[in-house]
Amino acid sequence: MLDLTSEAALIVVSNRLPISLRRGRDSLVVERSAGGLVAALDPALRRTGGTWIGWPGMRLRESEKLPSVDEAYTITPVPMNDNEVRRYYHGLSNGALWPLFHSFPERTRFDRRDWEIYESVNERFAQVTADELTRNCLVWIHDYHLMRVGPHLRRRCPNQRIAFFLHIPFPSYDIYRTLPWYREVLIGLMACDQVGFHCPGYVRNFLDCAERLLGARVDRDKNLVQFGARTVRADAFPLGIDYEGHERRARSAPHSARRDSHKVILGVDRLDYTKGIPGRIRAFERLLEVYPEHRERAVLIQVAVPSRGQVAEYQALKREIDELVGRVNGRFATSEWSPIRYLYRSVSPERLASLYRDADVALVTPLRDGMNLVAKEFVASQTEDPGVLVLSRMAGAAESMHEALMVNPYNIDGVANSLHQALTMDFQDRANRMRALQRRERRHDLHAWLEGFLSAASGPAAQMRPTALQDFDLWLSPYLRSDLQLALFLDYDGTLTPIVSHPSQAVLDDETRELIQRCGARSDTDVSIVSGRKLDDVRSLVRLPGITYAGNHGLEIVGPGIESFSHEDVPHYQKRIASLAQELEHICIEGAWVEEKGASLTLHLRALSHLDQRSLDSRARELILEAGFQVREAHCALEARPPIGWDKGHAVLYVLRERYGPAWSENVRTIYAGDDRTDEDAFRVLSGLGVSFRIGNTDTPTQATRQLPDVESVKTLLRWLASRPEAPQG
Ligand code: ADQ
């Protein structure tokens, strides 16, 4: 467990730094940024020390260094060029992920080039982070801009403790799955140890997506997800505000002269289509129509901070709001009273404190919002005559702020009615509601949030219970049928035996052999071993009669009822493989070696350092391609395969057709278990027709139906298959 109060440091990674840069006349000018994220994390970093990594908000020239900033922690900038800002930030983050995660699929713009830049910028963030790591530190990544940092960082630092917090909602499965890169984004979060959301509803959505889209194993009681061998904890940590700070500012903020002349309804937002500003103005208009007693008595003050002005949607929204404000003011204004005051700008913390304190009603009506801090800031600032909070049910804040008047922002009449209720509520009712809201927000403030998140993220690593027989009851019972045969395909290395440093050490243990034998001995099950090894090699390792063996990724197959198969093009490539093997041996450095397998070969790189692997890998790829072979990646190895369009997928189909005829899928159920990229070919041909399991860790998307953590869980699968009830004969 990390103790963040002592020597352990915190490394915060977010899109923006807590400062922004501006080019002054002769030097760079540093300004502290405002906003929720900075207010939340700055105190944590001050307490623990550490580093904040992020984009400084402008392009630094080659020679320019970040001016030194007097901070209690280090600030490390991640540079970005204009194209990257356009595609990673405006394109993928704000043009695709932001609308999708807020359940506005019709507003999303998916562009593969944006995704590629998002991926490469995330990798750069990971590299900068890896360079900053200290012994015993916690990396805390923030928000939707950086959901792919995890895997890149994990690859560089396999044992690093990594936490992630999402500040926006996590959408439901139905919406999330429209993202073209849904697997990659989920896998990105799976590389973390702790993933935090604002609300339990978002956690549920995330667990659903992990289970249904990745085939991950989920424990909903403990909020754990197991993906490959990794277990990730996903919990709700509702963000609070610096309650005392807001309360203090409200007590000392100046009073406005016009204070008692009107009832004030206040809206404060970033100008964003998720915040429901047009609907709010319409609801106010409706209030004036239906309840004319509020004319000349109520004022809507709407403060909107300019945001993402380069994005077309935001420009259109600004125009829409301008027009609406004009319409309502034009319709109802008198010489003494203008119904809406619209401030399109950021206001100072003191001014905001006055506005919050003096408002009679806070009208917070987002169409969807991760949390919404404005609702909380209003409550903390209500130090005088208690006002009323009218709050959208679609904000995360609604999950806890029960005493607010809850509204559906899509129901304009309903919001108008609630506004009327708020404006006419008697003192006692207002005071009761406000007291309860204040008590809760004071207790669940920013410090409590930090404490809760950091102690979970630095606590003992999450442990998922081992895969058990009942898991397979759930996954396989609905699929298997007692009147149909089962064709069971098993890869060897990494599936039946753990990955070891030399292939000769991958020996099958007696228990696994016995389980395979028991499966194979059943009248309703046919077992095939499908391996990248030479046929003779895999056969002598498994040593079981009566089952099928496919070697060399299926170029050679032998088994009961199958005529011994060897792909017709194999002899043509054997000589060329032998000479390629020699060429590769020439460039091998100590620790690397070539395994010749007749029609293909494997260059083993496992014993090399990461750096040596990379340099040998690229040289070897060139030689393999020059010799006219295909390159395939395997576990710490490169494979050279003849370009004959034959892989494990073809081998599986060959066995199925030979044994069960061309309409095999009507006569047989199929299960395939494999751990390797080469098994993906088999997963692909069986998708929709069979059930497949990918074993172990992977940080690339898989076509398999489900993930299993390790060889031990494959044994449990075999145990389940060997002991399931057998259909009565005849
Ligand atoms: P935002 O979408 O930015 O945050 P919100 O939570 O309301 O939304 O925070 C806005 C912040 O900006 C508040 O602290 C507010 O005081 C400030 N602000 C708004 N208008 C202002 C103005 N005109 N002048 C000055 N300050 C202004 C995202 C998610 C939210 C989530 C937060 C934190 O969208 O759902 O609550 O992150 O996780």
- Regarding the beta carbon of 36 and ligand 1, being less than 6 Å apart is answered yes
**pLDDT at 368 exceeding the cut of 80:** yes
pLDDT of residue 1: 46
| CA pair distance 676, 658, nearest whole angstrom | 25
pLDDT band at 258; cut points 50, 70, 90: low
Q: Atom 28 of ligand 1 has which residue's CA nearest to it?
A: 167
Hey, how many other C-beta atoms are within 10 angstroms of the C-beta on 87?
21
| CA pair distance 197, 189, nearest whole angstrom | 12
375 C-alpha to center of ligand 1: Å?
A: 10
- Regarding the beta carbon of 169 and ligand 1, being less than 6 Å apart is answered no
3-state SS class at 711: helix
Which domains does the chain possess?
10-190 (3.40.50.2000), 243-431 (3.40.50.2000), 469-567+646-723 (3.40.50.1000), 570-641 (3.30.70.1020)
Pocket test for ligand 1, best of 14, 249, 354, 373 (most atoms within 8 A of CB): 373
pLDDT band at 235; cut points 50, 70, 90: very high
| 482 backbone dihedrals φ, ψ, rounded to 5° | -65, -20
- Model pTM? 0.90
Cα torsion at 317, 319, 324, 326 (round to 10°)?
A: 150
Q: Which residues are catalytic?
A: 491
Please choose, from the candidates 50, 69, 186, the residue with its C-alpha nearest in 3D space to the C-alpha of residue 129: 50
Write down the mean pLDDT value for the chain.
Answer: 92
| pLDDT tens string 63-119 | 777 766 666 888 999 999 999 999 999 999 999 999 999 999 999 999 999 999 999
272 C-alpha to center of ligand 1: Å?
A: 11
Q: Atom 12 of ligand 1 has which residue's CA nearest to it?
A: 35
Most confident of 69-83, 429-443, 586-600: 429-443
pLDDT band at 612; cut points 50, 70, 90: confident
Sequence-distant (≥ 6) Cβ neighbours of residue 264 within 8 angstroms:
298, 299, 301, 358, 359, 360, 361
Q: Give percent of the chain with pLDDT exceeding 90.
A: 76
**pLDDT at 470 exceeding the cut of 60:** yes
* Dihedral of alpha carbons 37, 38, 39, 40, sign: positive
Mean pLDDT of 570-587: 91
pLDDT of residue 33: 75
pLDDT of residue 233: 97
| pLDDT tens string 395-406 | 999 999 999 999
Residue 652 pairs in a beta bridge with none
Q: Which tokens in the block code for residue 541?
A: 């390792």
- Regarding the beta carbon of 347 and ligand 1, being less than 6 Å apart is answered yes
Higher pLDDT, 435 or 565: 435
Q: Which tokens in the block code for residue 588?
A: 């091998």
373 C-alpha to center of ligand 1: Å?
A: 6
526 C-alpha to center of ligand 1: Å?
A: 60
268 C-alpha to center of ligand 1: Å?
A: 8
* Dihedral of alpha carbons 654, 656, 658, 662, sign: negative
Look up residue 337 and give its DSSP letter: -
- Regarding the beta carbon of 266 and ligand 1, being less than 6 Å apart is answered no
H or E stretch including 175? helix 173-176
Instruction: Return the half-sphere exposure (C-beta side, CA atoms, 13 A cut-off) of residue 545.
Output: 0
Alpha-helical runs (H) found in 333-426:
349-358, 373-381, 412-424
Least confident of 202-216, 516-530, 584-598: 584-598
Residue 225 pairs in a beta bridge with 218, 232
- Regarding the beta carbon of 305 and ligand 1, being less than 6 Å apart is answered yes
